[in-house]
Chain A
């Protein structure tokens, strides 16, 4: 069990061509599979009670436990039979997706698979204990396959977990720079809190994407709730305003504090060329006036 058969963390199923089995394994695995099928109920129950003893998967009800362990067991045996981990991998992903939101940890998932491995190994031991040579060969055939299974499940779980975490991070970011379509062709971006570089980048992506999605012609960026910004971020904001114009949308900035105005002047922004309006209400009024007044080219509009 020293992990000598472990494969790389990735590509467990994909890259690993089915290993050529030597004659012994080829003959033994079917026998092994038959044994595990025959004693399915007893072995599975034994496994579940081991899981309980170890206090693993406490988030699950006993019904869920019963259903999931049965599936894992069957998938497990199938891998031993076919040598293909694809189905197990798929199942492990699905399972992970279901249990991750409930706070199941990596060590629990790895733990239950290792328990199953040991439960089955013990049953093999009991069956073959009289024939020591045979036992050795059976275990030799079983162990690499079992390690491979454990590895597959663990990797699937970790992959899924990473995916979920990434997804959560993305949605948090999106929330921090909300793009609100208040009426047709009009977007509002109320920004609250410090606008750091990452958030500024996100704002650009959200805004420019939002202009296209909502076919916006006017955007009001309200920065009343932004205490201050450094020059890089201020520059980024100005660039975003210019880029919006290239996509056919005019930008009105509301709630510009004297500090931020000063920063903009410092980096050489000509404030007379930016549409800035005192408060959000005034900005919205101006936006509606622009929308009702003339489409596209901001001839009379206060845009660069």
Chain B
């Protein structure tokens, strides 16, 4: 992005060949959003026209990104126009971006990203959000209008904002998420909804999906109730030691007696070793629990081949590597609760809990 300095109007216009080269790209973007072939063709044409018109002001290297944004905007305006016709909607402020890009590409892109993100909300979400944020209408009167309660409206606003953040980031990145799991995961993270994050197994997805791992960073800081979790990435032998030391330290803060600290550290050692032995990458997350009692929860997850027969792996003496392989059953004996979920080809998640004063 930093390369996108101010456009230099004295620069040579790109050759028609360069514009033509953009066609497959633009077509792909438009086609993925507009099913109707004829309309799509129209929009590709419109996009290229706009790019051509603006090309003199766009840095040479920026032509392709510029085309991507423009294509999205063109599609967005189509959706908006359809919206208007359908609903005769008058409450929404005009979000249409200016006809042509301004000279400041960066600012423009940002605004476009926001605008783009807004278009991806549902009508109702957008209407409520704008009424609240732009017109300053309070949740109570909104609730009255919508036949709902103020609390429900506030919750919905929060969800909408969470979505807006996600769509904004996607628009800025000029990308569509690679899998259909991405959006639910990003939404759960953006909303800071831990339960939902568990439901969609957000942590595992972040291990698997580079895009979401990257996008989730700016989202993490928001709305998270607690940032107390300790997260240890695991790839090598040394990480096993790091993970168990971290677990011991956290457990010590929770108030476990010394024998339990050693038990917890040892259990972490066992499950973390499996990540190093069998998987490409993984992590150990250590979480302090307050409810229903004080305790510690350790989640070890990996992106790996998975365990075909979990029951067998939990029996003493089973191992696919050298030795007795008491790792999992041993760890289970050291902890109060132990659960393992494994999917062949995707990976394994071990969740184990110990409560203060259980044994």
Contacts and interface: CB of A to CB of B under 8 A. Distances in A.
A176 interface: no
Contacts of A204: 259
Interface string B249-266: 000000001110000000
Contacts of B257: 201, 205
Contacts of B359: 197, 201
A204 B263 CA distance: 14
B337 to A, nearest CB: 16
Contacts of A201: 257, 259, 359
Contacts, number: 8
A204 B359 CA distance: 12
Interface in B233-284: 257-259
Interface centre among A197, A201, A205 (most CB of B within 10 A): A201
Interface in B20-40: none
Nearest to A232: B359
Contacts of B259: 201, 204-205
B260 to A, nearest CB: 9
A205 B259 CA distance: 8
Main SS of the interface on chain A?
A: helix
Interface in B313-359: 359
A197 B259 CA distance: 14
Nearest to A243: B259
A205 B258 CA distance: 9
Contacts of B258: 205
A223 B359 CA distance: 21
Interface string A195-211: 00100010011000000
B154 to A, nearest CB: 29
B291 to A, nearest CB: 21
A175 to B, nearest CB: 18
Nearest to A204: B259
A180 B257 CA distance: 23
Interface string B162-200: 000000000000000000000000000000000000000
Nearest to A202: B257
B262 to A, nearest CB: 11
Contacts of A205: 257-259
A197 B355 CA distance: 14
Interface in A189-239: 197, 201, 204-205
A125 to B, nearest CB: 46
A281 B351 CA distance: 49
A197 B359 CA distance: 6
A246 to B, nearest CB: 13
Nearest to A205: B259
A236 to B, nearest CB: 8
B264 to A, nearest CB: 15
A204 B257 CA distance: 12
A201 B359 CA distance: 7
A40 to B, nearest CB: 44
A205 B257 CA distance: 10
A162 to B, nearest CB: 13
Contacts of A197: 359
Nearest to B358: A197
A204 B258 CA distance: 12
A197 B336 CA distance: 14
B329 to A, nearest CB: 15
Nearest to A200: B359
A152 B258 CA distance: 32
A61 to B, nearest CB: 40
Nearest to B258: A205
B358 to A, nearest CB: 9
A189 B258 CA distance: 22
B357 to A, nearest CB: 8
A275 to B, nearest CB: 24
A277 B240 CA distance: 44
Interface in A146-205: 197, 201, 204-205
A204 B259 CA distance: 10
A64 B259 CA distance: 45
B83 to A, nearest CB: 52
B266 to A, nearest CB: 13
A25 B333 CA distance: 62
A145 B350 CA distance: 53
Nearest to A239: B333
A201 B263 CA distance: 13
A37 B183 CA distance: 70
A201 B258 CA distance: 12
Nearest to B259: A205
Nearest to A208: B259
A262 B203 CA distance: 48
A197 B358 CA distance: 9
A154 B151 CA distance: 40
B318 to A, nearest CB: 19
B131 to A, nearest CB: 38
8 contacts: A197-B359, A201-B257, A201-B259, A201-B359, A204-B259, A205-B257, A205-B258, A205-B259
Interface of A: 197, 201, 204-205
Q: Which 4 residue pairs spanning A and B have beta carbons closest together?
A: A201-B359, A197-B359, A205-B259, A204-B259
Given A201-B359, A205-B257, 6 more contacts: A197-B359, A201-B257, A201-B259, A204-B259, A205-B258, A205-B259
